[in-house]
Amino acid sequence: MAIVLKKGGSFNLSKKEPALKKIMLGLGWEQKAGNQMDLDASVFMLGANGKLVAEEYLVFYNNLKSPDGSVQHTGDNRTGAGDEDDEMILANLSLINAGVNEIKIIISIHDAATRRHHFGLLQDAYIRIVDVENKREVLRYDLDAEFSGNSDVEFGKLQRIDGDWNFVASGLGANGGLQGYVDMYA
Ligand SMILES: [Ca+2]
Ligand SMILES: [Ca+2]
């Protein structure tokens, strides 16, 4: 059964799911009539100073793998056509560079400002975390209902605390696009 977290809620992932080694972030969406929306899942791997460890530690549609090999994006999906996960990021927690203290998971809508797109225009848009080994869903957020009016959202963050990974369901909607996060963390 998936853990349902309220915004801002957090839990110790390493203690709650001790067997969890590989996780999959799944992003799915369906278009409503008249809109052609391209959602993107991205991961920012930050050091103790709150900035990207290096540029290549931003994993997104233009950089599919982190230098430590721990995080891999399976490729851009521009339409959301098809059921289930349309865009996926795989992470192997045991391979994460020791210099990475925090991992931010960002969902954004491509070119949202000029196209006036926001999550409320979608149908069945969600982001979820799945335990790769047993296919169990650990966490899920509905994006269309929760973030109508926003074009991007910090879905959650993984924080390394005393060697354990803690997950915080930040659920922070924003409208600066992927570039807004790049400006913050690069
Ligand atoms: Ca995409
Ligand atoms: Ca879909």
* Residues 30-59 pLDDT 10s: 988 777 899 999 999 999 999 999 999 999
Phi and psi at 183, nearest 5°, equal -60, -35
Residue 2 lies in a domain: no
Q: How many domains does the chain have?
A: 1
- Residue 79 has a pLDDT of 94
Separation of CA 84 and ligand 2 centre (Å): 6
Structure token pair of residue 91: 């992470």
Separation of CA 86 and ligand 2 centre (Å): 5
Residue 111 lies in a domain: yes
8 falls in which pLDDT band (50, 70, 90)? Answer: confident
Length of the chain: 186
pLDDT digits (tens, 9 = 90+) for 62-117: 999 999 999 999 999 999 998 999 999 999 999 999 999 999 999 999 999 999 99
Separation of CA 31 and ligand 2 centre (Å): 8
Nearest-ligand number for the alpha carbon of 74? 1
Residue 85 lies in a domain: yes
The CATH number of whichever domain residue 110 belongs to comes to 2.60.60.30
- Other CB atoms within a 10 A radius of the CB of residue 153 amount to 23
Residue 19 lies in a domain: yes
Q: C-alpha dihedral over 79, 82, 73, 76, to 10 degrees? A: -20
Separation of CA 136 and ligand 1 centre (Å): 24
**For the chain, what is the total number of helices (H) and then of strands (E)?**
4, 12
Residue 3 lies in a domain: no
Separation of CA 165 and ligand 1 centre (Å): 27
Residue 142 lies in a domain: yes
Residue 1 lies in a domain: no
Residue 35 lies in a domain: yes
The boundaries of the domain holding residue 55 are: 10-185
